[in-house]
Amino acid sequence: MPTTHRLESTADSTVDVLTAERRPVLTVAPGDTVTVHTLSAAGYTERQPAPGVDAPTLIDPRRGHCLVGPIAVTGARPGAVLAVRFDDLVPDDWGYTGSGGVDTPVNRALGLTDPASRGPLLWDIDPERGVAVNQLGLGVRTAPFLGVVGLPPEPTGEHSTIPPRPLGGGNIDCRELVAGSTLYLPVTVPDALLSVGDGHAAQGDGEVSGTAVECGMTTTMTLTLLDTAPVEGVHADTPAGRITFGFDADLNAATATALDRMVDWIVALHGTSRAEALAMASVAVSMRVTQVANRTWGVHALLPHDAILTGASATDARP
């Protein structure tokens, strides 16, 4: 019988690296559901008093994102796939977005490396209305998701939470991973050892300033294990469609990986050749830059569920 668990962000349950050498904060069975409250990526324990003014943090000093984990999944072994289904995602009622003031390629291109050029925003979030409004009086619709959902990339060492990885996922920052999505992570270490956090109330593709509407998040997720998956690598089934990912320091390489795995998925779904699948991808798949800010390019290929018509649906669609 599946069990429901609850985790809060405490000094004992939070971590700022991905590691298999830390004692699990929770052990679950496949099929169990976990409700976890995570703090913002910075680990703020209270609302910032003004734009650009820091607040107390749970982890100080902090090396990476403030995550909850690791969560052990009994029976998970390398070669299996951990399926993380996001049943519900509810942001806290406040958040922040930073921009500029840091020497990054994007900021250099935009002339915003000077600390005086920083443009932080503070947000009031209304989860029930699905709206966030900042101090400028500008608002956005919310679409909550977790930026970091990851496993340690290898059994030893402490690994940065900042770059997304082909092994273990991590800081994927894909705005499509909203409630109703399932993220598939190839298991990298015994017991999987999942860590999650970096709540985003809203984000555009690319996360171009390096931050989204960063916020605490209450996430309910169901964890299951699969012996096999439709395609290799990190991928997802979301309300928007099927998604495959590529992560690399080279944008072209990241794009090729995401596309290659989407071609494989189309072959598996429709029994085509790879060349035919690539042709279908050219007319049905959208290639999107997931994020530009985390040392590694993230690219995802999105195939909407209704993009490829088959059988009677295809013939009935003719004008």
pLDDT digits (tens, 9 = 90+) for 50-103: 988 889 999 999 999 999 999 999 999 999 999 999 999 999 999 999 988 888
Is the domain of 92 the same as that of 163?
yes
Average pLDDT, integer, range 99-124: 88
Is 319's pLDDT higher than 60? no
Domain end call among 172, 194, 226: 226
The DSSP code for 183 is E
Query: Is residue 304 helix, strand or coil?
Result: coil
Is the domain of 198 the same as that of 282?
no
Q: Which residue has the tokens 């690319």?
A: 206
Long-range contacts of the stretch 311-315 (C-beta < 8 A, 24+): none
pLDDT of residue 72: 98
Closest CA to 126 of 142, 112, 115: 142
Percent of all residues in the chain with a pLDDT value above 90, rounded to a whole number:
86
Q: Name, in order, each residue with C-beta under 8 angstroms of 208's C-beta and a sequence gap of 6 or more.
A: 106, 292, 293
Is the domain of 111 the same as that of 149?
yes
Torsion region of 206: left, alpha or beta (phi above 0 gives left; psi -120 to 50 gives alpha): left
Reported as a single tens digit per residue, the pLDDT across 294-303 is 779 999 999 9
Q: Could you tell me the CATH number of the domain that includes residue 306? A: 3.10.28.20
Is the domain of 117 the same as that of 221?
yes
pLDDT of residue 212: 97
What type of residue sits at position 127? Answer: P
Is the domain of 43 the same as that of 191?
yes
CA distance 289 to 44: 28
Average pLDDT, integer, range 267-272: 96
Is 316's pLDDT higher than 90? no
Average pLDDT, integer, range 223-252: 96
Is 267's pLDDT higher than 90? yes
pLDDT of residue 10: 97
Average pLDDT, integer, range 257-283: 98
Is 240's pLDDT higher than 80? yes
CA distance 37 to 54: 21
The band of 119, judged by pLDDT with boundaries at 50, 70 and 90, is confident
CA distance 210 to 108: 13
Domain end call among 226, 261, 277: 226
Closest CA to 200 of 209, 191, 189: 209
Between 53 and 195, name the one with better pLDDT.
195
Q: Could you tell me the CATH number of the domain that includes residue 27? A: 2.60.120.580
Domain extent for 302: 235-316
Domain end call among 177, 207, 226: 226
For the entire predicted model, the pTM comes to 0.95
Q: Give the count of domains, the chain.
A: 2
Torsion region of 205: left, alpha or beta (phi above 0 gives left; psi -120 to 50 gives alpha): beta
Closest CA to 310 of 284, 278, 274, 275: 284
Is the domain of 120 the same as that of 26?
yes
Is 209 within 8 Å of 121 (Cβ atoms)? no
Is the domain of 88 the same as that of 222?
yes
- Give the mean pLDDT of the chain: 95
> Residue 270: in which H helix or E strand, if any?
helix 251-270
